[in-house]
Every structure is written in C-alpha cells, then in structure tokens.
Amino acid sequence: MNILTKYVPHCCVLCLGALALSGCTQFSRDGGFGPVARAADERIGKEVRWTRTPEERSKSARQIAELLARPLSVEDAVQVALLGNGALQAAFEELCISEADLVQSGRLPNPSFTFRHAASGGIYDIEETLSINVISLLAAPYLHRAEERRFREVQNAVTLDIVQLAERTREAYYVALAATQSVRYREQVQAAAEAGAELARRMRAAGNWNRLDEARERGFYDDASLEVERARLAESLAHENLAQLLALGAGSGSFRLADRLPDLPASVEAAPDVEKTALDGRIDLAMMRAGLEALSANLHLTRATRVVNVLDAGPTRVRQGPSSDPYETGYQVSLEIPIFDTGAARVRKAEAIYARAVEQFRQAAIDARAEVRRAYARYRAAHEIAARERDEILPLRQSIAREDLKRYDASQIGVFDLLADARAESTGVDDFIQSLRDFWIAKSALDTALIGLPPRNDEAR
C-alpha cells in the first residue's frame, strides 16, 4: 500500500529511538537455564538437566539407571530426584514462559492504520492515518527492565525449587533408611519376647508359673508384635514417599538403600554468621529485593504517566474533493484528557504496593535470621541427644546386659530377666537410630535454611 511506503521514514525515527532505549532481545539458546544449573552446582553440588530433547531424556535415564544399580547413598538419591522428578522439569518450563515475556517486552508496539472514506457526487473525503502509541514507546525501556528483573526472579525461584526438592529427598531418604533399620531391631525385640512367651507357656504347663506371670510375658510379645507391624507400615510408607520423589513408580522395590545411616560426626559445625547468611546468602531474600526494584520502577512509571496515560501520534494524509485533487499531508495526535481521572488513585495504589513490599521484606529478613537460628539450635540439640545415646545410654545398657549374662551363668537370675535385658538393649538401639535420623534431617534443614528455604513443619519436629 502506498500510504505505508510513504510514511516508513517517519515511523523509522520512532522505531530507532525505541530500539535505542529498550534494546533488541532474542531468545537464548538454553532458555535461561545455564545460570540455574550453575547455581544448583554451587549451592548443593549437584547436576540438574532440563530434558527437552529425546537425547537429553535418554542421557538422564541412563544416569539414573546407573545410580539405581547400586545401593543409593543420600547424595545418589538427591541426584536421581533432580534428574527424574517431573515436577521439577515442569518448573523449568517457567523459564520459557518468563523469557517469552522478556523477549516480547523488547519488541516495538505495532503501529495502527486508520482509513476513512466518504464520497458524494464525485467529491471524496478520504483520510488515512498511520499512528503509534507514544506512551508505549516511552514506557518500553521501563517495562523491559521490569521483565529482566522478573526473569531473574523466575531463575531464582527455579533454583529454590531445586533446593527444596533436594532437601525433601534427603529427609525422605533418612526417614526411609531409619525405618528399615528400625524394623530389624523391632524384630529382634519381638523374637526375644516370643521366646519369653513360649518359655512362660511351658513353665505354666509344668506347674511352675501362675496365669498372671504367663499373661505378663504374653503381653510383652503381643506389644512387640504390634510394634513390628507399625514399623513395617512406617517403612513401607517411607519407601513409597522416597520413590515418589525419585519419580520411581514401582515403590520400594525399585531401589536399594545403604545398610545403615551415616555415622554421627564427632562434633557440630560452628554457628553460622546469621546476619551475613540471612541477608546475603538466601535466595528468597534476593528474590524479594528484585521484586522491590521492579515495584520501584513501576512506581516511577506510574508517577510519570499519571496525567497522560494514552498518547497516540503519527502522520496522516487527507483528500477532500475530486479524485484529481492532491492529498493534504500532516500529522495526528490523540491523547487522553485528564479531567475526571488524574491518575492519583493509580499512584496511591502503586505507592501502597511498594510500601507493603518494603515492610514484607523487612519482616522476611527478621524471619530469615530466626529461621537460621532455630535450624542451628535444632541441629546442635539433635547432635547432643544422639551423642549421649551413643556414648552413655547404649554402653550402659550393654554393660547391664553383660553383667546379667554373668549372673545368669552363675544361676543368680532367671532366663526371663535375661530376655528383658535383650529387649531393653534392642529398644535402646532403635531409639538411637531415630535420634541419628533426626540429626541428619536437622543437618539437611540447616543447610537448606542457609540457602533460602526455612525448615518445614517446625512445630512437628
């Protein structure tokens, strides 16, 4: 169309100015995943892969199969989850969505073409206008920078998803492994109780025991049997939960765990620098800072456009007369007249939103410090409890069992006293397993709190 050709130079002036302000953004080759992968490696020391192609999916499947071919360590379990969890792969798609918004914000607004035609008795009234929204052009740099901040925020959010999945997998691993160990020791208690119940039955049959004594031993056995069933149920549920995080549909039969929980460290780590860690190291606070910057820019833009929010301008040409008359050329400007709406409400809303975000960030910083301190206190207490059970309570029970064995050999105590000691010793080992599990869960929660996510279910632990 001739009108478009004629007015291209005028549009180019506006387009080049907008390009100089907002830049020309293109889609990246990795969809913004590179910084996320590097952050995951730095934060948790694990590889993450966005499986967008059949080749990448095959590579992840082979790596997962290699890990599952041997008993899983906790770090192996985390790696399997990061490679195979579908929810995490879905979170990676948020990068594509956000990058599309970022690229779109770098595009120039499309011009609009208006054509009006009227004729009567060979007299024509023709008007052709090519216009562009000037406010959109002027606001483009602000909007583009806001989308850049939003894209970085999404990258941080995806990194937090990775950290959260790693923490949940570690916790599920420790719970599953402790549950398996607990079943073994509960079965030992059951075996000792069963032996006592059988012996009591024979003693009563021989006339050496009364009904009450036999019932007491039978009660010990029934209680032990119920505890075994509860432990087996807990083991099944824990393995199923871990299998779900690992994206393995076959449940506990599709993977093997280590034989036992890792040993308790000799000492606890030094208390973290709460101020530096909470304010500088946490990803969630970094996301809130980026949000504050975006809201500040939005507030500035709202204030700048409070009076005139719609402004269209562009060249126009008009013919009024016979078709042989030449066109009259000029320009057209359309703007909103701020008579009824002066933009004060929009400014007040933007100011309130920004003020709310500032207060939320201030409180979030306080909460982050408290979360780290609570996580460290829980971690330190869990270590102390497990160490006391390992170094004091278990050796004491073992010593009692050895002394009672000597007394039994000397016919100073009966077999039932010996069986009771065996039950108590096995129960003590099971208690230590649960304390050791709690320590490693607390250690994982502390590591996560230092990165950016608070420990979950604080009150339940």
Q: Which pLDDT does position 162 carry in this prediction?
A: 92
Mean pLDDT of the chain: 78
Residues 35 and 77 in one domain: yes
CA-CA distance, 190 to 433, in Å (whole number)?
17
Task: Give phi and psi for 233, each to the nearest 5.
Answer: -65, -45
pLDDT confidence tier of residue 14, bands split at 50, 70 and 90: very low
Model pLDDT, residue 458: 44
- Sorting pLDDT into bands at 50, 70 and 90, what band is 305? low
Apex 413 CA angle, 410 and 419, nearest 5: 115
Q: How far apart are CA 168 and CA 161, in angstroms?
A: 10
Give pLDDT, residue 25. 66
Predicted local confidence at residue 170, as pLDDT: 94
- Count structural domains, the chain: 2
Tokens at 439, concatenated: 């320590």
Of 195 and 64, the structure prediction assigns the larger pLDDT to 64
Residue that wins the pLDDT comparison between 295 and 333: 295
Judge whether 90 lies within some domain.
yes
pLDDT of 5 over the 90 cut = no
Q: What is the pLDDT of residue 8?
A: 41
Most confident of 242-246, 304-308, 319-323: 242-246
Asked if the model's pLDDT at residue 289 lies above 60, the reply is yes
Q: Is the pLDDT of residue 459 over 50?
A: no
Residue 340 has pLDDT above 60, yes or no: no
Q: Within 10 Å of residue 260's Cβ, how many Cβ atoms?
A: 13
Residues 138 and 120 in one domain: yes
Angstrom distance (rounded) from CA 24 to CA 26: 7
Cβ neighbour number for residue 268 with a 10 Å cutoff: 17
Please report whether residue 226 resides in a domain. Answer: yes
The encoded tokens of residue 117 equal 């035609």
Q: Which of 265, 266, 248 is nearest to 257 (CA)?
A: 248
Q: How confident is the model at residue 10 (pLDDT cuts 50, 70, 90)?
A: very low
Identify the burial level of 211 via C-beta atoms within 10 angstroms of its C-beta, where 0-12 means exposed, 13-18 middle and 19 or more buried. exposed
The whole-number pLDDT of residue 282 equals 82
How many CA atoms, within 13 angstroms, populate the side-chain half-sphere of residue 333?
Answer: 7
What's the pLDDT at 187?
A: 86
CA angle, residues 39, 81, 150, in degrees to nearest 5: 40
| 33 is a domain residue | yes
Per-residue pLDDT averaged across 151-178, rounded? 91
Tell me which amino acid residue 151 is: F
- Report the C-alpha gap between 154 and 148 in whole angstroms: 10
Q: Are 225 and 297 contained in the same domain?
A: no
Say if residue 81 is in the same domain as residue 106. Answer: yes
More confident residue, 219 or 172: 172
In the chain, the percentage of residues whose pLDDT exceeds 70 is 73
Residue 303 CA from chain centroid, whole number: 36
Is 70 in a helix, a strand, or coil?
A: coil
Give the DSSP letter string of 287-340.
Answer: HHHHHHHHHHHHHHHHHHTSS---EEEEEEEEEEE-TTSPPEEEEEEEE---SS
Q: How far apart are CA 363 and CA 348, in angstroms?
A: 23
Under the banding of pLDDT at 50, 70 and 90, the label for residue 319 is: low
For residue 12, name the pLDDT band (cuts at 50, 70, 90): very low
Distances in Å between the Cα of 304 and the Cα atoms of 51, 105, 267 are 44, 19, 59
Domain around 280: 274-306+345-461
What CATH number is associated with residue 349?
1.20.1600.10
Q: Is residue 240 part of a domain?
A: yes
Starting from the edge strand earliest in sequence, which strands make up the sheet with 311-321, in order? Answer: 112-120, 123-133, 311-321, 328-335
332 and 391 in a single domain? The answer is: no
Residues 17 and 46 both lie in one domain: yes
pLDDT at 339: 56
| Whether residue 359 sits in one domain with residue 335 | no
* Residues 123 and 17 grouped into a single domain: yes
With contact defined as beta carbons under 8 Å apart, do 77 and 242 qualify?
Answer: yes
- Among 218-222, 257-261, 293-297, 370-374, the minimum mean pLDDT is found in 293-297
pLDDT bucket at 140, cuts 50 / 70 / 90: confident
Residues 183 and 221 in one domain: yes
Asked if 85 contacts 246 with a C-beta cutoff of 8 angstroms, the reply is: yes
Strand partners, 312: 133, 334
Q: What is the rounded average pLDDT of the residues 430-458?
A: 81
Amino acid type, 8: V
Inside any domain, residue 85: yes
pLDDT at 278 over 90: no
Q: Are 256 and 72 in contact (CB under 8 A)?
A: yes
Among residues 61, 48, 146, which one has the least CA distance to residue 92?
A: 48
Tell me the mean pLDDT in the region 316-334: 67
Partners of 330 in the β-ladder: 316
Q: Does residue 325 sit within a domain?
A: yes
Between the CA of residue 32 and those of 25, 29, 296, what are the distances in Å? Answer: 13, 8, 25
Asked if residue 421 and residue 330 are part of one domain, the reply reads: no
Residue 167 is assigned to a structural domain of this protein: yes
Cα–Cα distance measured from residue 146 to residue 302, given in angstroms and rounded to the nearest whole number: 13
Cβ(81)–Cβ(246) below 8 Å: yes
Report the pLDDT averaged over residues 402-421. Answer: 63
- Six-digit token pair at 180? 């398996």
CB 387 within 8 A of CB 264: yes
User: Does residue 180 register a pLDDT over 80?
Assistant: yes
- Please tell me whether residues 374 and 232 are part of one structural domain: no
Nearest CA-CA partner of 439 in 369, 365, 389: 389
pLDDT at residue 383 greater than cutoff 90: yes
Confidence of residue 332 (pLDDT cuts 50, 70, 90): low
Q: Is residue 268 part of a domain?
A: no
**For 327, left (φ over 0), alpha (ψ -120 to 50), or beta?**
beta
Residue 381 has pLDDT above 90, yes or no: yes
Distance CA 73, CA 203 (A): 48
The confidence band for 292, taking pLDDT boundaries of 50, 70 and 90, is: confident
In a shared domain, residues 351 and 333: no
